[in-house]
A and B are shown apart, each in its own frame.
Chain A
Amino acid sequence: MKELKVDPIKNGTVIDHIPAGRVQRVLAILKPRETDIVMMGMNFSSKAMKKKDIIKIEGRELTQNEVNSIALIAPAAKVSIIRDFKVAQKSRVEIPERIEGLVACPNPKCITNAEPMMTIFNLEDSSTRDLACQYCERVFTADEMTHI
């Protein structure tokens, strides 16, 4: 019964295996609508991660693109789409080839930090999670990024 610390949902999305402490940052990216019912779990025990956070969104199925947008801060997250209390679909997050407008460039001399414009990063290497800024051309690891 320990699985039921957070109420099961009828229809919607469950995001599991979010690194502990990052649930609020994940929500900030996913931007729940006013009509979404959201349950947040923090510091659940996990075999693989010791501690983890979890999110359940009732009434909304996240698209793969929406899911992938959290890949930089929750690379090991597992996403389940729930229909009528059953898992209808399971997927892992993947860092997209191109990330637009989501993270700030860590280079203070980058033009994206001076002009009213969108950042664009291109995935250089999915194994090391290296991202190259389309503008200043510098390469950063996902962990160096801060979300806008």
Chain B
Amino acid sequence: MKHLISMRDLSADKILQLLQLAERLEKDPSQIDLSRRVMAAMFYEASTRTRMSFESAMKRLGGEVIGMVGTSGTSVEKGETLADTAKIMARYSDIIVMRHPMEGAARYVSEQVGIPVVNAGDGANQHPTQSLLDLYTIIKSQGTLEGLKLALVGDLKYGRTVHSLAYALAPFNPTFYFVSPKSLRMPAHILSDLTQKGVGFKEKTTIENIIPDIDIMYVTRIQRERFPDREEYEKVKNAYIITAKLLRKAKDNMKVLHPLPRVNEITTDVDSTKYAYYFDQAENGVYMRQAILATLLGEAE
């Protein structure tokens, strides 16, 4: 593995290797030493969680971090091309972690530089480190990826995270409930891909009845900017509010995940239940990103 650009590039074996390394690093980060290695963070868009989680991952393995957040005050503002900026960064560092609003930006940069590139989000396209940390979170909380029942809830039309998660889990014999307002259904091409792969799923507009049945509830935020029509947004914005009361009939092993930030879709009284797992999920991001950095820097055997 030279770069991490898209989940499409990863075999099931490679995914399992990364999950195992993340688990080992969570137990004992001292087995990998990235001292005197430098990670360049090229963030053309603000992102606190992804960037800080990468920084934490690199630093806890002994490495250093340089970089930029946003383009103001950088050579980008002077009109430098993405390729040039990346080529310079590649002279300063050993690995590039980048987020960019344009789709395919990370793939392009990976073709331009001689060091590993990690895609930390390219517009609506891919965010593979999120997908991998979601898989790590699921396997850690359930003990397996095989045969789980998962509800994906919220904006399933535009939600890059849920699309990617559906594909990532497809080889592991899952059953999905896709819970969304009619206007934010899972895109038809994804449903047909899943059918082709033999993945079972049901589409739902309400969540109540399936709660006793599921192992994982993956909640996403319904984003206002997706709606051209304010009225339409007002209609669906509170469609799925997960409360402690709603979870009373959940199975003991059921965990609620959310890529965060949440607004009001999970009420704070859920935080203290045994079902809340979104903060653990955020922490797992550090272990998974450690595994990714170590692998791409050639330090994982």
Proximity string of chain A (107-119) to chain B, C-beta cutoff 8 Å, 1 when within and 0 when not: 1011111111100
Complex Cα spacing A139 to B103, Å: 13
B21 at the interface (CB under 8 A from A): no
Q: In the docked arrangement, what's the CA distance between A116 and B8, Å?
A: 26
CB contacts under 8 Å to B, within A90-120, are: 107, 109-117
Is there an interface contact between B103 and A137, defined as CB atoms closer than 8 Å? yes
A139 to B104, CA, bound (A): 13
Docked complex Cα distance between A111 and B107 (Å): 9
Query: Known: A137-B6, A137-B8. Is A110-B81 also a contact (CB below 8 A)?
Result: no
Q: Within 8 Å of chain B (Cβ to Cβ): is A57?
A: no
Among A104-148, those with CB < 8 Å from B are 107, 109-117, 133-139
**In whole angstroms, what is the CA distance A58 to B247 when docked?**
77
On whether the beta carbons of A114 and B126 are closer than 8 Å, the reply is: no
Given contacts A109-B123, A109-B124, are A133 and B104 in contact (CB under 8 A)? yes
Contact B108 A115 (CB under 8 A): yes
Asked if A110 and B103 make an inter-chain contact with CB atoms under 8 angstroms apart, the answer reads yes
Collect the chain B residues with CB atoms within 8 Å of residue A135's CB: 103-105, 107-108
Q: Taking the complex as formed, is B125 at the interface, i.e. its CB lies under 8 A from any CB of chain A? A: yes
Which B residues between 105 and 132 are near A, CB-CB below 8 angstroms?
105, 107-108, 122-126
Question: Does the CB pair A115–B8 fall under 8 Å?
Answer: no
Cross-chain contact B124 with A111 (CB below 8 angstroms)? no
Interface check B82, CB cutoff 8 A: yes
Which residues from 88 to 107 on chain B have a C-beta closer than 8 Å to any C-beta of chain A?
100-105, 107
**Chain B, 56-73, contact with A by CB distance < 8 Å: what is the 0/1 string?**
000000000000000000
* Of A114, A137, A138, the contact of B102 (CB 8 Å cutoff): A114
Query: In the complex, A112→B108 CA distance in Å?
Result: 9
**CA–CA, A107 to B103, complex, Å?**
9
Chain B residue total in the interface (Cβ 8 A): 19
For B124, the closest partner residue in chain A by CB is A109
**Chain A residue at minimum C-beta to C-beta distance from B102:** A111
B225 CB → nearest A CB, Å: 14
Residue in chain B with minimal CB distance to A114: B102
Cβ distance A101 to chain B, nearest Cβ, rounded Å: 14
* Contact pick for A111, options B6, B105, B126, CB 8 Å: B105
Residue from the set B8, B102, B123 with the largest chain A CB neighbour count within 10 Å? B102
- Residues of chain A contacted by B239 (CB below 8 angstroms): none
Q: Flag if B81 contacts A111 (CB, 8 Å).
A: no
* Chain A residue with Cβ nearest B100: A111
Decide if B236 is an interface residue (CB 8 Å cutoff).
no
Given A135-B108, A137-B126; A109-B103 close (CB under 8 Å)? yes
Interface presence of B83 (CB below 8 A): yes
In whole angstroms, what is the CA distance A109 to B45 when docked?
A: 14
* Residue in chain A with minimal CB distance to B103: A136
How long is the Cα–Cα vector from A135 to B126 in the complex, in angstroms?
11
CB-CB under 8 A from B81, the residues of chain A are 115-116
Closest 7 CB pairs of A and B: A135-B104, A136-B103, A111-B104, A111-B102, A136-B104, A111-B105, A109-B103
18 new A-B contacts, CB < 8 A, other than A111-B100, A136-B125, A138-B103, are A107-B103, A109-B123, A109-B124, A111-B102, A111-B105, A112-B108, A113-B102, A114-B82, A115-B81, A115-B83, A117-B108, A133-B104, A135-B104, A136-B103, A136-B104, A137-B103, A137-B126, A139-B189
CB pairs A–B below 8 angstroms (15 shown): A107-B103, A109-B124, A111-B100, A111-B103, A111-B104, A111-B105, A111-B108, A111-B122, A112-B104, A114-B82, A114-B102, A135-B105, A135-B107, A137-B103, A138-B103
